[in-house]
Structure 1
Amino acid sequence: MTTQADDRPATCKPGESMASVEPITLERIRLLEGPFGRSQNANIAYVLQLDPDRLLAPYRREAGLLELAPSYGNWENSGLDGHTAGHYLSAAAMLYAATGEGRLLDRLSHMIDGLSECQRAIGSGYLGGIPDGLAFWEDVRAGTVGSDSFSLGGRWVPWYNLHKLFAGLLDVYRYASDNRALDIVVALADWWLDVARLIDDDHFERMLDTEFGGMNEVFADLAAITERSEYLAMAKRFTHHAIADPLIRHEDRLTGLHANTQIPKVIGYEAVAALTGDERLANAADEFWRIVVDTRSVAIGGNSVREHFHDTADFTPMLIEREGPETCNSYNMLRLSAQLYSRSGDAKYLEYYERTLFNHILASQHPEHGGFVYFTPLRPGHYRVYSAAEENFWCCVGTGMESHARHGDMIFARNGEDLEVNLFIGSELHLPERGITIRQETNFPFDDTTRITFSRMDRPQRFTLSIRVPGWTAGPVSVTLNGASESVQTRDGRLHLNRTWSAGDTVEVRFPMAARLERLPGKKDWGAILYGPVVLAARTGAERLDGLVADGSRMGHVAAGPLEPLAATPVLATRDAEDGTVNLRVVDREALRFAVGDADGQEFELEPFFTVHDSRYVVYWPLTSGASVAERRRELLALDEELLGLDARTLDQVTLGEQQPESDHGFTGIATGAGQSDGVHWRETSGAFSVTMRNRDGLARVLRVSRLGSSSLQGFDLFVEGAHIASLTKPDGAGTAGVMIDEDYEIPAAVSLGKDTLSVRIAARGGAKSGRIHALRLLTD
């Protein structure tokens, strides 16, 4: 990395890299038949179902142009209008690079034509789909828009939305070589430079409390492409010091934060560091990755519950909640891992990349209809919900289209003149400038062998072929060269074969695989079973998979079917609290199907988690060593008694102060602020706020208000459908500060009956603050 004293971006042309290891780009790689090739094909079919004119509709509306087709619904017409277009541009461009599919190029050309027309109609360089976007961004320019931890001017993540457009246009330029896309994004960037001129640093930093995607990354990319120093300066300005500075000090301040708000920021830190040599930002990226992967991630590679980082000392939420790891998080953690590997060459980034790609990303797409998963519950006995192509437009649909477009990203890399094989995925690498084609044939992970053949070599060439030796390898690696056993040097976790290569040369490598038990972080009495890098799971039935393919409702991405009792989950016996061994009986080795016996001697069949669809499942199993099985089940029953009864009575709930739940419940408010204390989110107001809650079959009879106690509480009035339900007027008294207090208020049947939704309003009394309200829950009784 280099440092420019005058702050100019380093000389980095499109397609070049300043890194020590350079992953080989998608257009050089073709996937062969296998899980990832099939995933890519399903993704193409999904993307081609979408109508470009419907994706462009919000942009035409905001530009004052006639809409050629109606806008899509769901997240596309409820405040986040237009965000899918940016994802679509990225996905279609990468899929075109990865396959050469001409229909995708036609779609991209149509989209760029449409966006260009919209930008010209507006005339300022601005381009966007959010409602009344021009007026909103003028308010931002004037400094009249405030931020409330995630809401900028009461809007639903407008910066996140705009970032997707920036990133999509850049991807069209990169992968489809369309200079018109670069022209559009440069004009858009220049518009923002003009808007930002008069925003002072304090106000800019407050703005960054909201979710702004990877705006630092896209401005760094623009700086590298155009060599314009003002873009690099803006990339630096998007450094959110509230996040970066603790990371630089090696402090974990992530508990309670919205996870995917932070990950793209850190990708941007690394992008700026790559251009400038800023070691502080590079260290922040390193530290963030270490914290998330080492202390906040589970066996499938994912992280977060209900989109937020929870307390690292307590992973119980991961076991009891419906809303487990979010797919967007893992998509962006893979992007960050690729960056860090490129800079360092450290194999730990590849270990994480492989695990997450095979177990979370691959599992998040339905293999038949191609629908995408938002949350992957790890609660035993629960299930996942999938999107429908023209019905659902969640963030995880957008990143899902991108995820399954870039499966070829990290398979091969260059290290100078040497070539690396990093992932074992059936693929073909084309390097026409060197006259080389390399074919990797494998049925991994169903087979433990990969075969690498130089199918084309215009002339013999001497270089090192370096093949990753995974950390999960369970014994000596065997290598053959052209059919003969070969003794190969192993260094830094890689096989190094240095020789003069010719057409037809073939290397075959076998990596022995074995089963092991991996415990849940911080909870040694729960564990997942892996075979090599693959997480194994058991199907537990297909009953009550409510909303398996989501409808267009705002909460359709959550698997709302009934929870299964934890006590019904089979208990596995181990020798002690550190035992990592597990005995599996082979059912079908070629399909990676095994059987495991529980503590009572009953067997359950296991298969790769990424093959489990349209079913309830178990990934994490309760374990026992010193305690008896009966005692372990009593512990699980106690947890069930606390949770299942309340869940069965619950019609809807909203956690206040959390971004997505409030957005999904139509939050509005004045004179209100949100925060979190020790990972517990809350909202308070000196004015009022409202949410709209689902009232299935008109059954709501009780509203539970959960709040953090405070001796200074001034109280509030509670309204349901405009009817005054209750007043809270007295302070809680000493000793209650920070204590969670649940209070139930009766809803008259006349207020609730026959209504599918109920408006709930909390109004402060006399202008004083209401106190910190954590959650609202509608109950049947």
Structure 2
Amino acid sequence: MSTSTERPATTGRTFPLGAVRLGPGPFAIAQQRALEAVLDLDLDRLLAPFLVAAGLDSRAEPYGDWESAGLDGHIGGHALSAHAKLWAVTGQDVLHDRMEHLLDGLERCQDAVGTGYVGGVPNGPALGEELAAGRIDADLFSLNGRWVPVYNLHKTLAGLIDAATHGRSERALAMALRWADWWLSVTKALTDEQVEQILTAEFGGLNEAFVELGVLTGREDLVAEGRRLAHRKLLDPLADGGDPLDGLHANTQIPKVVGYQRLANLAPADTTGTTPDGDPAAERFAAAADAFWSSVVEHRTLAIGGNSVREHFHPSSDFTEVMTDREGPETCNTHNMLELARLRLDRGHDGSAVELAERALFNHVVSSVHPERGGFVYFTPMRPAHYRVYSRPHLSMWCCVGSGLEGHTRYNELIYTHDGPDLRVELYTPSVLDWTEEGLRVELSTELPFRDEARIVVTSEAPRPRTLRLRVPSWAELVDLTVDDEPVVAAVVDGYAVIARTWSGTTAVTIRLAPRLVAEPLPDGSGWVAFRYGPVVLASRAGAGKLTGLIAGPDRMAHVAHGPMVPMRQSPVVVAEPPESAVAPGDKSMLTFELAVLRERSGELVPGVVLLEPFTGIHDERYSIYFAADTDPSHALDTLRTLDDADTAADVFDKVTAGEQQPEVDHGFAGERTRAGGADGVHWRSTTGWFEYRLRCPDAAALVRTRFVDRAASRRRILLNGLEVGPSRTLTAPADGEGLAEREYDLTDAVREAGAPGETVFRVEAVDGADSGDLLVVEVVLREG
């Protein structure tokens, strides 16, 4: 074991994790809950999948859930990152000791395999041999019969890199290099087309990891591999100025673009982040990253800083599904968007990156862990009067648990940036910056936006001229500024109050900001509005009734809030113009407000008042963030009723949108000779062999409803619990055998008796190897009567 005691030097414009400590406040509480969750993990259980894959005996049973369902070891990679990052921001030695325990186990596995490979993927060592031989069978979330194995392996590599950088472990760096050399041995004989084929399946941020490792070690071959792993299917349309995101799995794409941004950052940039007469390849990566950023941040991001529905990018012109679905923004997405924001800030000052970081950290991320008992959130529904589910320790092993373990160190990264020796305060939250390279210590204390003041105490070891820039956010007005209690008039340039002086000893700067209440419509301009006071999104409580699965159980889809959804027509309607005028102040010390609304009662809209408060304080309860807004109340009510009429979810007991990753995984997808795809927000799966899902089955009368797009040559059979069944009802039949086909199949007593209680195995088989047609959706529907 060898460990470097030197803290990583400042690179780019952001600060390394260990340079910033959090002061008392919500961020510190969330970070503490994450730290407690990390320390509660059984390290030997995390190592078990790696030992099994390496052919070694394990003294502990692996964790269950996703950790024993094909993504074996993915939490281990996240946990390695978490221990390193949390040690960097807290200095607690127990974290470093546990990190070394993980490295001990992983090193044993790497040595036993002997090729440099280390990972928890089932039958993982053989994967490299298969790929190197050109045997590549890739679907959207499977590769050679394994559930996103490269995504999983990326978590291990990223953990090693984090242990090397944030954990200052030279051993981890050596292990990461051995892993990278193994990967290079796999891909060296493959064509670019074959590598692109591998990248069909979600692969996490492997491209970005290779670039980072190459920069750390000065190895251009690793950087070159990062370029090769760029996935041109996404890169090229983005770099050409297009927007190909509709319908794509969001968190598959974001890490790719993190890699594009890191590659763009390799080229010299001017003070604006632009590459002057630079490398055309770097410019292309920069163009792709810029196009993606614009599409997601400007056209797809919600008030809390999250994006997507059911893990996928919805059409940017239509947020209907976002507002009606129980599976709202995924926390993993936001964690990765914050990494993209950090890299954009490293390249050059970027106001939109600061605003996204503030919006996401102050609302989505800090609220994604329960502030009292812990537990991480997967989906944060935007549907009015719905709720969130929290993970259960030692049981829930979702991707958002892994991201949550390490992601609550993001706060430390994004509070301050610098322009050479000059400092910017970007986010107002209690914190301390130790900038040892510049002999500078900065202590920021504030209760914004609950109070209107922030105090920044600057201590400089030696007299030195420098400029301090204090952000004046778009949500506030600058009231006044003092230096050592003496008023100063500071110019506000590009949204920053500028103080240029020679700093010596200790200087206290106080800035007073007057936050504003802002009404924020959805990006598509539809009739919904959210309210923010300063950086804080406001919401209303909607009761604690029927919070089914509030703390996740062992079910396949336990991360989804399956409780009943409140009808949309019961949503409060804001009729004031502008919407802000409907808001009256309440208790300023608690940031509460009263919102004048109309509510539907017995078919009529009657006046009422809704109490607004910070969304981050609402847990274990239903909530509403967005409110219907229309100056014509009858039109608003008609719209809400239309949404209820279109929303058949009350009758749908279970549903799989074919070709959407997580719903398929959650329903035990299996198959042979099957492919999935999607375009323009429509997803599908077809086969020339077979595929199947395990659907939840109610005790009540029910049926299975399918929606296919057929071609003239399509031929298939449908089996339920192994029994071939014919349709009991045809809803839509395509003309000439081509087009949409919708059919229903009864869940008869014979079908139920042939399967396990509470479950129906739905299977599609192609007839004689013909094309099955494209399955769009299969649903289990409660039957009337």
Q: Give the TM-score of the pair, scaled to structure 2.
A: 0.93
Distance 1:513 1:583 in 2: 18
The 8 Å contact of residues 323 and 382 in structure 2, kept in 1 or not, is answered as yes
Distance 1:303 1:756, change over 3 A: same
Structure 1, residues 175-225: CA drift from partner, whole Å, max 9, x if none? Answer: 111111111111010011111111111111111121111111111111111
Residue 613, structure 1, aligned to residue 619, structure 2:
yes
Aligned to 2:708: 707
Equivalent residue in structure 2 for 1:178, among 162, 169, 172: 169
User: For residues 131-157 of structure 1, what are the alpha-carbon distances to aligned partners after superposition, in whole Å with 9 as ceiling and x for unaligned?
Assistant: 111122211111112112332123211
Contact 2:7–2:168 under 8 Å retained in 1: no
Q: Please list the CA deviations of residues 670-717 of structure 1 after superposition, one character each: whole Å capped at 9, or x if unmatched.
A: 121111242111111121111111224x43631111223x45253321
Equivalents in 1 of 2:107, 2:142: separation in Å?
A: 29
Deviation by residue 1:528-562 (Cα, 9 ceiling, x = unmatched): 11112211000000001101111122200000000
- Give how far 1:378 is off: 0.3
Query: Kindly tell me: are residues 683 and 128 of structure 1, through their superposed partners in 2, closer, same or farther at Cα, counting changes over 3 Å?
Result: same
Residue identity in the other structure for 1:472: W
Identical amino acids, percent of aligned pairs: 42
Q: CA deviation at 1:732?
A: 4.3
What CA distance in whole angstroms lies between the structure 1 residues aligned with 2:489 and 2:261? 38
Structure 1's 715 and 523: CA in aligned 2 closer, same or farther, altered over 3 A?
farther
1:259 is aligned to 2:262: no
Contact 1:541–1:616 (8 Å) recurs in 2:
yes
CA contact (8 A) 1:96 1:104 kept: yes
Secondary structure of residue in 2 paired with 1:724: strand
Partner of 1:416: 420
CA contact (8 A) 1:515 1:582 kept: no
Which residue does 2:473 correspond to in 1?
470
Tell me, yes or no, if the aligned pair for 1:716 and 1:727 is still in contact at 8 Å.
no
The secondary structure found in structure 2 opposite 1:301 is: coil
Find out whether 1:584 has 2:587 as its counterpart: no
Does residue 520 in structure 1 map to residue 522 in structure 2? yes
What is the SS of the residue equivalent to 2:777? strand
Separation in 2, partners of 1:531, 1:162: 42
Pairwise CA distance, 1:756: 2.1
- Post-superposition shift, 1:661? 1.1
1:242 aligned partner, one-letter code: K
In the alignment, the residues of structure 2 paired with residue 507 and residue 416 of structure 1 have an alpha-carbon distance, to the nearest angstrom, of 21
| Secondary structure, counterpart of 2:135 in structure 1 | coil
- Report what 1:5 is aligned to: none
Output one character per residue of 1:405-441: Cα deviation in whole Å (capped at 9) or x when no partner. 2311111122111111111110011123443321100
Q: Deviations over 1:289-321 (max 9, x none)?
A: 011111111111111111111111111000110
Q: What is the one-letter code of the residue matched to 2:201? A: T
Cα deviation, residue 15, structure 1: 4.1
Which whole-Å CA distance do the structure 2 matches of 1:428 and 1:434 have between them? 15
* 1:440-479 matches, cutoff 5 A: 440-454=444-458, 456-473=459-476, 475-479=477-481
Secondary structure at the aligned position of 2:146 is classed as: coil
Structure 1 equivalent of residue 563 of structure 2: 561
Match of 1:761 in 2: 763
Residue 89 of structure 2 is aligned with which of 66, 82, 98? 98
C-alpha distance in 2 between matches for 1:107 and 1:315: 44
1:636 aligns with 2:640: yes
Distance 1:681 1:14, change over 3 A: farther
Does the aligned pair in 2 maintain the 1:656–1:662 contact within 8 Å?
A: yes
- Give the secondary-structure state (helix, strand or coil) at the position aligned to 2:371: coil
Change beyond 3 A, Cα 1:729–1:513:
closer
Match of 1:745 in 2: 745
Of 719-728 and 402-411, deviating more is 719-728
Q: 1:47 aligns with which of 30, 34, 38?
A: 38
- Counterpart of 2:356 in structure 1 is 352
Query: Contact between 1:516 and 1:582, CA under 8 Å: does it hold in 2?
Result: no
8 A Cα contact 2:17 2:409, kept in partner: no
**Equivalent residue in structure 1 for 2:572, among 552, 570, 573:** 570
Q: 1:26 corresponds to which residue?
A: 17
Question: Per the alignment, do residues 735 and 14 of structure 1 end up closer, same or farther by CA in structure 2, a change over 3 Å counting?
Answer: farther
1:664 aligns with 2:666: yes
2:409 is aligned to 405
Paired with 2:472 and 2:179, the residues of 1 have a C-alpha distance of 45
What's the counterpart of residue 532 of structure 2?
Answer: 530
The one of 610, 614, 639 equivalent to 1:604 is: 610
Partner of 1:353, secondary structure, is helix
The residue identity in structure 2 corresponding to 1:104 is L
What one-letter code is carried by the residue in structure 2 that aligns with 1:586?
A: P
Aligned residue-pair number = 755
Q: Given that residues 246 and 679 in structure 2 are in contact (C-alpha distance below 8 angstroms), is that contact kept between their aligned partners in structure 1?
A: no
Report whether the alignment pairs 1:389 with 2:385: no
**1:625-663 CA distance string (max 9 Å, x none):** 1x2x234213212321332xx323322111111111111
| Distance (Å, rounded) in 1 between the aligned partners of 2:497 and 2:478 | 12
Q: CA deviation at 1:574?
A: 2.7
Moved more, 104-113 or 443-452: 443-452
Which one-letter code corresponds to 2:749 in the other structure?
A: A
C-alpha separation in 1, matches of 2:9 and 2:713: 59
Residue 165 and residue 673 in structure 1: after superposition, are their counterparts in 2 closer, same or farther (change >3 A)?
A: same
Task: Specify which of 435, 438, 443 is matched with residue 439 of structure 1.
Answer: 443
**What is the one-letter code of the residue matched to 1:359?**
N
Amino acid at match of 1:372: F
Work out whether 1:78 is the aligned partner of 2:69: yes
- Map residues 78-477 of structure 1 onto 2, 5 A cutoff: 78-276=69-267, 277=279, 278-454=282-458, 456-473=459-476, 475-477=477-479
Deviates further, 186-195 or 761-770: 761-770
TM-score in terms of structure 1 length? 0.94
* Alignment partners' CA distance in 1, 2:584 and 2:736: 56
Aligned to 1:6: none
Aligned to 2:657: 655
Letter in 2 for 1:500: T
For 2:618 and 2:172, how far apart are their aligned partners in 1? 39
Which deviates more from structure 2 when the two are superposed, residues 598-607 or residues 125-134? 598-607
CA contact (8 A) 1:714 1:729 kept: no
Q: Corresponding residue for 1:689? A: 691
**How far apart, in 2, do the equivalents of 1:481 and 1:224 lie?**
41
C-alpha distance after superposition, 1:462-502 (max 9, x if no partner) = 211111111222x3442111112210011121111111223
Farther-moved stretch of structure 1 (111-120 vs 722-731): 722-731
Separation (CA, whole Å) in 1 of partners of 2:490 and 2:525: 40
Q: Which runs of 5+ in 1 are unaligned?
A: 1-12
Equivalence for 2:271: none
Letter in 2 for 1:522: D
Q: Which residue of 1 aligns with 2:485?
A: 483
Contact 1:62 1:129 in 2 (8 A): yes
- Segments of structure 2 that go 5 or more residues without pairing to the other structure are 1-5, 268-278, 599-605
Seen in structure 2, the aligned counterparts of structure 1 residues 737 and 478 have a Cα distance that, compared at 3 Å, is farther
1:337, 1:373 → 2: CA distance? 22
CA 570–339 in structure 1, closer or farther in 2 if over 3 Å, else same: same
Indicate conservation of the 8 Å contact 2:472/2:478, yes or no: no
User: What is the rounded CA distance, in whole Å, between the counterparts of 2:612 and 2:447 in structure 1?
Assistant: 19
Q: 1:689 to 1:711 in 2, by over 3 A?
A: closer
Give how far 1:742 is off: 3.0
